[in-house]
Structure 1
Amino acid sequence: MSSPLDSLVFVSIPENSTFTAQFPGFDPSIPLPVQLSRPGEQFEASALSRESVLSGILAVLAWDRDNAQIEYYRGLLKAAHPRIREELTEAAILKSKNGDFELAEEIFLALHGLDPLDSQTILNLALLLDERAENMRKSGLDEDADALDESAFAWYRLALTAEPPLPDAFFNAGYFYTRQRNYRKAREAFETYLKLETSETAHAQAKKKHAREIAEGIAERDLDDELFKSAYDFIMMDQEDKALEQIRLFMESHPKVWNAWFLLGWALRKQGRWEDAKAAFIQALELGSSPDSDIATGYTDICNELAICSMELGDLHESRKWLEAGLTEEPENTKIIANLGVVSMKTGNIKEAEAFFRTALEIDPEDRMAAQLLANLEQHS
């Protein structure tokens, strides 16, 4: 696998060169990194420019943290481009919004290399990887999503130890832990955020309201109970029998918690017990139908699970109904869109199936399931 460092060369430049005047603090005894257009390219003097050197330094900061001259390169970059942090942060956020996660990550890694103690950059990396993991999971790439979650978790842990404390780190970590069903840590993160946040802006007050509601909801339903957490962990380890034991113990004293019924259905579905799983998911929806419920956070997942169960039971009409309900909630959820393609394929509507798979790939070109299913259809058409 190629590395960004493969297209990097280190060039010695004489001190009296007019070129070096662009780099205050230049030391002729230390070669400058120059970013070439591609790996293996022969270096020519025409490739030497301020931009190619700045790009080379950024590559070193992102991918070569053990470089003996990294402190020198940091100083050189800051002197040559004092607003580099602000400009690159804006660029990375824009790339992330446009779905170019790899380039956004590379930029944030370079900024972290520039200043390893910059807590905002650390949090930005956590947020980026967290968002990318969610996109992967929506595309059905659960293993890739799990790997990204681990990376996001590592960056969140760093952000949570920042001094002075960064309130937004705790707020966003709370949501991350909620998605991981680690409700004990989620509650702790939100409660810490509420203590740290001192801003009186409308935006901050809205965030505090959300944080308080989630923390109180976790406490009211005992979602931070160890039985609930262990049930989720067993499901993630493909130990459904143990998960069912734990979740049923939890449900003995918490029979009306929709999240528990969702876990029950999930474990049953993984065992291929389609009817039982479907009944559990329906119960989750019924329990979450109250106006003050937070079931919106899991509604699309429940619809997708119900669609899978219905599909396996041979009821394609009902499967489509649940997928369309999920799509109404999340119009760009590629897992839902790809499964609509599967339903169309099973009903013999190949053109519609191809359209669904292409739509999924337009939203997420990395959706391997949609790509494989589309390729199979095109091969046999």
Structure 2
Amino acid sequence: MPDSLAINILIFVVSAVVVAFVGTRMSKVADRLADKTGLGEAIMGAVFLGGTTSLSGIVTSVTAAAGGHAELAVSNAVGGIAAQTAFLAVADLFYKESNLEHAAASIANLVQGTLLLSLLSIPILAFAGPPLSFWGVHPATLVLMAAYFAGLRLVSLSQTENMWQPRQTNETAVDKPDDAVQSRSLRKMWLKFLGYAVTIAIAGYFIAQSGVVIAAKTGLTESVVGTLLTAVSTSLPELVTTVAAVRQGALTLAVGGIIGGNCFDLMLIAFSDLAYRDGSIYEAITYRQVFLMALTGLMTGILLLGLLKRERHGIGNIGFESFLILILYVGGVASLFFKSR
């Protein structure tokens, strides 16, 4: 990467715009694939949309970790989860019929939210526990990966076993397949989806590289750059795809894509630990990253309460959980920024 601050800022901005532009188109393709494959919006959002929109974040964190920038890698991962949870509250503003969490309440989203809270506790335990590593990899990394895939199975089973389901109301959005999608080519849809994913990954690489230079040139800490710059910019696909999904009525896809993507984003810490060669990455993180994890856990808990309470309308036509999540995110990020000055 060039050494010029101005050029790196330009690269950063252009890459972020590319991520946002491509992400807009992913939601429509994902919704069609959910209907065409029969997977449903919840699984499509959690696994495919959430995973592919996280590609730029994966590249950013892994590249930063491989370069020895542990704080940037972890801050990007956890900061992205916090930003994406706040983005769900922003998407609530675009759904006028009722509170988004009321309309999109489903057992799959509740299971995913509970899984996210469980996964968040693993890096915190690794940070607070005794130093352990084998060939530079902490056992928590393997536990994190195993817990994620076990959780996905629970999400899948929750949709088929029907042990619990939300009470249907006039505002509840039901995931109904679009019959018109069946005439489309499944192969072309997957190829288009893959092309978008590769583009986002490439843009994520340039975001990571330019972010490191910006941090060095401006004197900002890696935690601030990771939380405010790289995390937010690499999370733009989630914001764009979520708002787009809400506007086209794919509410389960919107909420599932955020919560499922957040679960996947915790895998970024595991990938970063594998890429970080100066020991266990959990031993290199600071209280700032732990603060972010705790903040994210609180925001997720409030989101779950909103999905359970299912308030129809609230402040500014958004639920109490969306209002509180936005307040917590802005306050938490501001606290982290001024604390590092």
Q: One fold, TM greater than 0.5? A: no
Question: As a proportion of its length, which structure holds more helix?
Answer: 2
TM-score (norm 1): 0.22
Larger RCO of the pair (alpha carbons < 8 Å, separation 6+): 2
Q: Structure 2-normalised TM-score?
A: 0.23
Please tell me whether Structure 1 or Structure 2 has the larger radius of gyration of its CA atoms.
Answer: 1
